[in-house]
């Protein structure tokens, strides 16, 4: 059985970008409301959101367990004449300074249910007081739809588990809605998503 990193390396091995090179629409919309600062992008894949943030003058740190994803992200950054810091790591491996980032964005960062709360807690500690967390991921209603996602209900989001995981943040926005995704070959069509904005209390 393949490890998660091997699976993602295989997905990202093609010359084309699995989820395209344009940023996620919700991430783009919300990031443009914020003053540029330091941003962390966990599970960033091929770098589409990291490169967009860097073009908006954010100082970007990203990580992902896929070496192929990192390589393509750095190539995309070079093509766009921006710099990003990108580490090959999983949630359990990534360690940095606490209260360092003005923004953290979890865009389709689906993890096993037994690790989700722990990983979300570890990430939240890196957010500055007053910092903003942006999340978009597939909801449990996505199961059975062909537009993307892990295909395991326990890896999908609900409003309840998002509120529970980020209980120390002030909830600014929490929506469950149906959207039309058009992000590369792997996110195409009608999809059920959770969107969340949380702010760390000062």
pLDDT for res 14 = 86
pLDDT for res 164 = 97
CA–CA separation, 46 vs 198, rounded Å?
25
Give the tens place of pLDDT for each residue, 121-175.
Answer: 999 999 999 999 999 999 999 999 999 999 999 999 999 999 999 999 999 999 9
Q: Is the pLDDT of residue 1 over 80?
A: no
pLDDT for res 39 = 98
pLDDT for res 202 = 85
CA–CA separation, 168 vs 191, rounded Å?
29
Q: Answer whether CATH 3.40.50.150 is correct for domain 4-200.
A: yes
Alpha helix (H) ranges present in the chain?
Answer: 4-11, 25-31, 48-55, 67-79, 113-124, 159-165
Give the tens place of pLDDT for each residue, 16-68.
Answer: 999 999 999 999 999 999 999 999 999 999 999 999 999 999 999 999 999 99
Give the tens place of pLDDT for each residue, 73-86.
Answer: 999 999 999 999 99
pLDDT for res 43 = 97
CA–CA separation, 14 vs 113, rounded Å?
29
Residue with tokens 């998002």: 162
Q: Is the pLDDT of residue 102 over 80?
A: yes
Q: Decide: helix, strand or coil at residue 184.
A: coil
CB of 97 within 8 A of CB of 70?
Answer: no
pTM for this structure? 0.96
């Amino acid at each position: 059985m393949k490890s998660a990193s091997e699976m993602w390396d295989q997905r990202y091995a093609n010359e084309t970008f699995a989820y395209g090179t344009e940023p996620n629409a919700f991430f783009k919309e919300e990031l443009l409301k914020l003053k540029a600062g330091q941003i962390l992008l966990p599970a960033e894949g091929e770098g589409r959101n990291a490169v967009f943030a860097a073009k908006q003058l954010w100082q970007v740190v990203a990580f992902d367990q896929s070496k192929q994803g990192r390589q393509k992200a750095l190539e995309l950054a070079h093509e766009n004449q921006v710099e990003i810091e990108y580490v090959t790591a999983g949630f359990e491996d990534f360690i940095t300074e606490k209260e360092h980032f003005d923004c953290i964005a979890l865009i389709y960062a689906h993890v096993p249910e037994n690790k989700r709360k722990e990983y979300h807690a570890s990430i939240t500690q890196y957010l500055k007081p007053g910092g903003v967390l942006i999340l978009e991921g597939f909801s449990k209603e996505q199961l059975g739809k062909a537009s993307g996602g892990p295909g395991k209900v326990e890896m999908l989001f609900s409003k309840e588990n998002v509120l529970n995981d980020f209980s120390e943040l002030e909830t600014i926005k929490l929506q469950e809605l149906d959207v039309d995704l058009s992000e590369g070959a792997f996110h195409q069509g009608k999809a059920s998503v959770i969107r969340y904005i949380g702010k760390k209390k000062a």
